[in-house]
């Protein structure tokens, strides 16, 4: 009897010790962006140093561009990278290729330069990946740093991210834009390459990433050709939503996926919302101010894919 009491007591003690650990795990939340560093410095040198740190850490630079400058920020530069882990994970789930390119931003705001990147743990859940991308997180942390995460207040849980939509009637991860369809992967890629090179509808190529199983990801910039097209323009949209002190520059660029002969992209009402989940529906700096943008982006990307012909 004494032995049973001692065993019962020991089990009760272990259970009591595990309760806080289980509660902590259940309460774990994630933010969309990681601030690697911020402070004074030379912008061009910071861009160069960031690229060097990424390549030294085993990342492959796919492309880079300056989406805007002398607007709501002084300067912004985006570097897109990938590595073997990202490419491997991308093949393991439907539409996983959208997570194969990784976005890093260097942003000058006043006298301060911010280096930030998209949080792997956040995207792993939001994009329904079959990996938590822990190795990618560690590689980015070692290469660039990790001061804090930001973009979603107290953060979102894995459970909420894996079924994320901004509100009732809004799109989820798999509610994509269907842009065009061709009889072969080769034809689809050739059409996109041609149209992006021509800047059709103001959409141009930043990078291309070829993955196994006839999947190719393009990263694209979006600049309005006329004032009437401003709702698709990334500078216009980001000037509305990216108003906080810490900038979400690595939201950019937008991805287009060629999967076999099908060309698709994430719906803006999912992609923007999941990267900026704290944006209000109404008021200044809200979704109401970019209400025409989801359709404008669809039309621009569709034209670039040749689907509107």
Structure tokens at 86: 């990202």
pLDDT in tens, 225-243: 999 999 999 999 999 999 9
| Domain boundaries of the chain, sorted by first residue | 30-305
Check whether 16 has a pLDDT greater than 90: no
How confident is residue 24, by pLDDT bands cut at 50, 70 and 90? Answer: very low
**Contact (CB, 8 A) for 61 and 206:** no
pLDDT higher than threshold 90 for residue 298? yes
Provide the CATH topology of domain 30-305: TATA-Binding Protein (3.30.310)
Q: How much is the pTM? A: 0.90
- CA of 270: how far to CAs of 2, 76, 149, 159, in Å? 60, 24, 20, 16
Q: What confidence category does residue 13 fall into, taking pLDDT thresholds of 50, 70 and 90? A: low
Distance between CA atoms of residues 31 and 53, nearest Å: 23
Cα–Cα nearest to 275, from 308, 302, 304, 253: 253
- The yes-or-no verdict on residue 122 having pLDDT over 90 is yes
- Compute the distance between CA of residue 71 and CA of residue 91 in angstroms, rounded to an integer: 38
Exposure b/e, 257-291, CB count within 10 A at least 16 = b = bbbebbbbbbbbbbbbbbbbbebeeeeebebebbe
- The pLDDT of 278-294, averaged and rounded, is 90
| Per-residue model confidence (pLDDT) at position 21 | 46
Per residue in 126-166, pLDDT tens?
999 999 999 999 999 999 999 999 999 999 999 999 999 99
């Amino acid at each position: 009897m004494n032995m049973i009491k001692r065993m019962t007591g020991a089990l009760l003690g272990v259970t009591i010790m595990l309760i806080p650990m289980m509660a902590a795990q259940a309460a774990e939340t994630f933010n969309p962006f990681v601030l690697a560093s911020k402070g004074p410095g030379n912008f061009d040198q910071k861009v160069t140093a960031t690229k060097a740190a990424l390549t030294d850490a085993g990342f492959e630079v796919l492309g880079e561009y300056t989406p805007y400058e002398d607007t709501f920020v002084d300067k912004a530069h985006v570097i897109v990278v990938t590595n073997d882990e990202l490419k491997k994970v991308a093949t393991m789930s439907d539409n996983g290729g959208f997570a194969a390119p990784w976005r890093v931003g260097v942003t000058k705001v006043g006298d301060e330069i911010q280096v930030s990147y998209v949080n792997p743990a956040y995207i792993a859940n939001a994009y329904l990946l079959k990996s938590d991308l822990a190795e990618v997180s560690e590689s980015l942390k070692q290469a660039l740093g990790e001061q804090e995460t930001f973009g979603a207040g107290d953060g979102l849980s894995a459970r909420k991210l894996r079924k994320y939509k901004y509100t009732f009637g809004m799109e989820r991860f798999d509610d994509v834009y269907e842009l065009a369809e061709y009889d072969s992967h080769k034809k689809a890629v050739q059409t996109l390459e041609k149209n992006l090179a021509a800047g059709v509808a103001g959409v141009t190529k930043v990078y291309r990433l070829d993955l196994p199983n006839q999947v190719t990801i393009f990263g694209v910039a979006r600049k309005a050709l006329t004032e009437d097209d401003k709702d698709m323009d990334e500078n216009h949209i980001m000037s509305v939503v990216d108003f906080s002190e810490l900038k979400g520059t690595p939201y950019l660029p937008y991805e287009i996926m060629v999967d076999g002969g099908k060309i698709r992209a994430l719906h803006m009402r999912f992609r923007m919302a999941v990267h900026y989940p704290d944006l209000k529906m109404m008021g200044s700096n809200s979704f109401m101010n970019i209400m025409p943008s989801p359709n404008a982006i669809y039309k621009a990307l569709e034209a670039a894919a040749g689907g509107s012909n």
